[in-house]
Structure 1
Amino acid sequence: MKMNEIKELSIKDLQEKIEDMEEQQGKLLLAHSVSTLENPLVIRHNRRTIARLKTELNSRQLNEADKA
């Protein structure tokens, strides 16, 4: 997921996407520990996407706090 796609999401959508991605990450890690994934780089990609989503969510929440 690219940053310009992330910036188009609302705060609620960001939170939902983070939850979904974290759940998917947990499943991938479990699957990888049981047997090797076909493409283990998916784990890294998901981790970085989660970080991007959390960064955007945090910056938006800080901006809202500054406005209040």
Structure 2
Amino acid sequence: MKVKEVRELETKDLAERLETEIAKYNQMKLNHSISPLENPSEIKMTRRNIARMKTILRERELNK
């Protein structure tokens, strides 16, 4: 998910999306520890998406 796409989301939708991404990330880490994922770089991409979302939420919080 690109920064432009994240910025277009409403704050409420972004917070919900963040929760689902965190759950997805935790599940991917657990699955990878049991048996290797086909594409382990997905873990890295998911972690970066979470960071983008948190950054934009924080920016919105500070701009209020």
Normalising by structure 1, we get a TM-score of 0.92
SS at match of 1:38: coil
Structure 1 gaps of 5+ residues are none
CA distance in 2 between counterparts of 1:55 and 1:14 reads 11
Post-superposition offset of 1:35: 0.3
| Partner residue in 2 for 1:25 | 25
CA shift digits 1:1-54 (9 cap, x unpaired): 001100100110110011000000010000000000000000000000000000
SS at match of 1:56: helix
Structure 2 gaps of 5+ residues are none
Return structure 1 stretches of 4+ with deviation > 2 angstroms: none
After TM superposition, the structure 1 = structure 2 runs for residues 28-67 of structure 1, keeping only pairs within 5 Å, are: 28-64=28-64
Determine what percentage of the aligned residue pairs are the same residue: 47
CA distance in 1 between counterparts of 2:62 and 2:11 reads 12
Aligned length: 64
The structure whose Rg is larger is: 1
RMSD value, Cα: 0.4
